[in-house]
Structure 1
Amino acid sequence: MKLDILVFGAHPDDAELGAGATMAKEIANGKKVGIVDLTRGELGTRGTAEIRDAEAAKAAQILGVSVRENLEFADGFFVNDKPHQLEIIRMVRKYQPEIVLCNAIDDRHIDHGKGAKLVSDACFLSGLVKIDTKVDGGEDWQEPWRPKLVYHYIQWKNLNPDFVVDVSGYMEKKKEAILAYGSQFFDPNSEEPQTPISSKNFLDSVEYRARDLARLIGTEHAEGFNVERFVAVDRLTDLV
């Protein structure tokens, strides 16, 4: 299956929090979108890996993504080395996305910055013809593939975006997907330990960040992204 957009997240729920409304909008516009989680989030204070597996599947169904996979890297301990890069390369070559979205370049959780660099490096390496990969136990060698664009969504830290996407009309779908992770986010009846993302303030921040970014472009809601290299446009009018 060829995808238009492949979204990587270090943990289940990263993709939804960072780019959930953008994914929902692209899917509504007919694009094929997939998610690859690097870990099962097994070190999370709340919930379990099995609970988060089920929550991720529910969130994927809500968003309408075409596929969701989990590479089962070690939460907190994966590194940017050849074995991990090759696993990312296999996913990129398997789905051949034009665009890759991945973790924030810099963030509070150490896995986010690591995940950002790992995916970015692997996307470049995926285009090299002398790197041989197979996938899913198949016998055929994969063809090289390099995404045209790699963008980083914004997470805990309020990074200055290089561009924003107008996602007005898609925030409710994003919030519904986020709330599929009942073990992780605000629940006044939960007896689980409190974490930085389990507060009502954090859940509210998803809305007010989207509104603040949208304020800058005169819309209702927006999501921000960072880039590592120049983005080319055909005409000035391509920049809204």
Structure 2
Amino acid sequence: MKLDILVLAVHPDDAELGCSGTILKHIALGKKVGIVDFTRGELGTRGTAETRDQEAADSAKILGLHTRENLGFRDGFFKNDEAHQLEVIKMIRKYQPEIVLSNALEDRHPDHGRAGDLANDACFLSGLVKINTQLDGKEQQAWRPRLLFQYIQDRYLKPDIIVDITPYIETKIASIKAFKTQFFNPELDAPDTYISSPDFFESVIGRSREYGKSIGVTYAEGFTSRKFLGIDNLFNLF
């Protein structure tokens, strides 16, 4: 299946926190969107790899994703090396996305920046015809996405592009809350963590309001880009 947008996320729930509003918006526009999670989040203080698997599946249904896969990399210990790059390249070539959304290039969690660099390198290398990959016993064709953006995560970064997600904020929240073991849940008997506090959840909503205000809408998501962005008509901007 060819996707219009492929979201690469190191942990199940990263995509929901960082860009689920943008996912919802583009699916509503008729685009095919999928997520490939790198790890199962098994080092998380709360929940297990198995509960995260189920939560990711529940969230995928809420978002209406066309596909969601998990590469099973080691949480916390994966590397941006040839072996991991080749696995990500296989996914890029499998889905042939026009646009890739990936983890932030720098953030509080060291996995995020490393995964952002891994996605960046894999997107470039995926376009090199002399890198050979196979999937399900078949040779894959080289493919390089037209655009790569990084969704902004815990650390505040100045965005290069902002997407209005106002009509989709409630479904975004629902997709995040699908990860019942990870975020604020007074019914759950589990240790408190940085992301399980009510304040953390409110900060996610506050960030959406902040980015929204900057472009004259109620809620928005911000993205960074390592390359310059061009348009052919100034009237396409608002």
Q: 2: CA distance between counterparts of 1:115 and 1:53?
A: 19
- The CA deviation string for residues 219-239 of structure 1, in whole angstroms up to 9 with x for no partner, is 110000000011121122233
* Secondary structure of the corresponding residue to residue 169 of structure 1: helix
Task: Quote how far apart the aligned CAs of 1:206 are.
Answer: 1.6
* Secondary structure of the corresponding residue to residue 165 of structure 1: strand
- Residue 148 of structure 1 corresponds to 146
Q: 2: CA distance between counterparts of 1:231 and 1:239?
A: 12
- The CA deviation string for residues 190-220 of structure 1, in whole angstroms up to 9 with x for no partner, is 2211111000001111211111111111111
* Secondary structure of the corresponding residue to residue 215 of structure 1: helix
Gaps of 5+ in 2: none
Q: Which letter does structure 2 place at the counterpart of 1:176?
A: A
- Residue 69 of structure 1 corresponds to 69
* Secondary structure of the corresponding residue to residue 167 of structure 2: coil
- The CA deviation string for residues 31-54 of structure 1, in whole angstroms up to 9 with x for no partner, is 000000000000000000000000
Match of 2:227 among 214, 219, 229: 229
- Residue 192 of structure 1 corresponds to 190
Please report the TM-score for the alignment, with normalisation by the length of structure 2: 0.99
Q: 2: CA distance between counterparts of 1:211 and 1:101?
A: 21
Q: 2: CA distance between counterparts of 1:175 and 1:117?
A: 27
Matched, 1:211 2:209: yes
Instruction: Report percent identity of matched pairs.
Output: 58
Task: Quote how far apart the aligned CAs of 1:175 are.
Answer: 0.5
Q: 2: CA distance between counterparts of 1:205 and 1:25?
A: 21
* Secondary structure of the corresponding residue to residue 192 of structure 1: coil
Q: Which letter does structure 2 place at the counterpart of 1:31?
A: K
Q: 2: CA distance between counterparts of 1:171 and 1:206?
A: 11
Q: 2: CA distance between counterparts of 1:39 and 1:90?
A: 16
- Residue 161 of structure 1 corresponds to 159
User: Number of residue pairs matched?
Assistant: 238
- Residue 169 of structure 2 corresponds to 171
Q: 2: CA distance between counterparts of 1:66 and 1:164?
A: 24
Task: Quote how far apart the aligned CAs of 1:91 are.
Answer: 0.2
- The CA deviation string for residues 58-91 of structure 1, in whole angstroms up to 9 with x for no partner, is 0001000100000000000000000000000000
Mapping of residues 101-116 of structure 1, within 5 Å = 101-116=101-116
Gaps of 5+ in 1: none
- The CA deviation string for residues 126-179 of structure 1, in whole angstroms up to 9 with x for no partner, is 0000000011x32x2100000000000011111111111011110111000000
Q: 2: CA distance between counterparts of 1:213 and 1:81?
A: 34
Please report the TM-score for the alignment, with normalisation by the length of structure 1: 0.98
RMSD over equivalenced CA pairs, Å: 0.7
